[in-house]
Chains A and B, each alone.
Chain A
Amino acid sequence: MSILLFTLVILLGAFLAGLVGSLTGLGGGVIIIPLLTLVLGVDIHYAIGASIVSVIATSSGSAAAYVKEGITNIRIGMFLEIATTISAIFGAVITVYINPNYISVIFGAILLFSAAMMLRKKVDHSDTDTSGKLAKFFKLNGSYPTPNGEQPYAVHNVAGGFLMMAVAGVASGLLGIGSGALKVLAMDNIMRIPFKVSTTTSNFMMGVTAAASAVVYLHRGQIDPGIAMPVCLGVLIGARAGSKILIKSKPEKLKVLFASVVTFLALQMIYSGLKG
């Protein structure tokens, strides 16, 4: 395949990945990597390098809007970034020492988990009981704007959330994804932060986390300009298009369709890894 055609195919695939990633909240990374490896036969290490670049672009782009709205809790984000950056670098360092087949299998497992998270019924566990000692010490309790004024919330189980974030960071560095599903799990279920705050804050953290591992990939030559260019442009434009659609309609039924697609991709990744 000529480089011109190859670039155009990736550009189209990345656009679709960004679109679906934004509509489902999964992010573009988890969809572009199977596309690159399964469909175009790209080595997973190049796919990971290109994907992490697209993660920085999309998360920084949407974080810009969220931060201005004042929903993002910058303190929670920065506090947890200590965990995610250290562990992301760790993941990025070890990723080349792991057999690519195992990486495919781990990737498939994370993808399955993300699909399950997408379909689960969300329950808001947030409350205003601001008695947690660590949350107080790190000034994590906050409030966010609603149509009826500022809504205060409390942060719980800071240590548990920090540990879960470290897991999310390793996954991010190892696989070149934003690992939003794991981050939201840490914030929604463990730290019991309201959805609006957890999704925007997780997004806010993704850029720095991804930048930390991107530096390691860059030194190693895993970020190839020929793949990274169409991937980051395509995913970013797709994600922008997706966010425009999202405002107009709530795609609940689409979610089931997307979850099936993601499950199919996950099984393919696991199969291709096991086959060797």
Chain B
Amino acid sequence: MKVKNEVELTLVGLLRKYGPAHTSLTVKPGETVVDVIRELGLNPDLVAIVMVNGRQRSKADPLDPGDRVKLVPMVGGG
């Protein structure tokens, strides 16, 4: 059941070193994607593609409760 002020977060591939593959997070109003990334202890540059509700977004975009966020890295670096 979705809780009102939470976003669903999916970490893809090697980003799973930093958290569970699928989780829910409480976000404060105005919090952005990069805020969430930093809270995970993750270097934002390691996140190549950000998808919010199935669309590519910028890391500077704010999040809304109920958003489905997917953080995608790229390999080929090791």
Do A and B belong to a common assembly?
no
A-to-B contact residues, CB < 8 Å: none
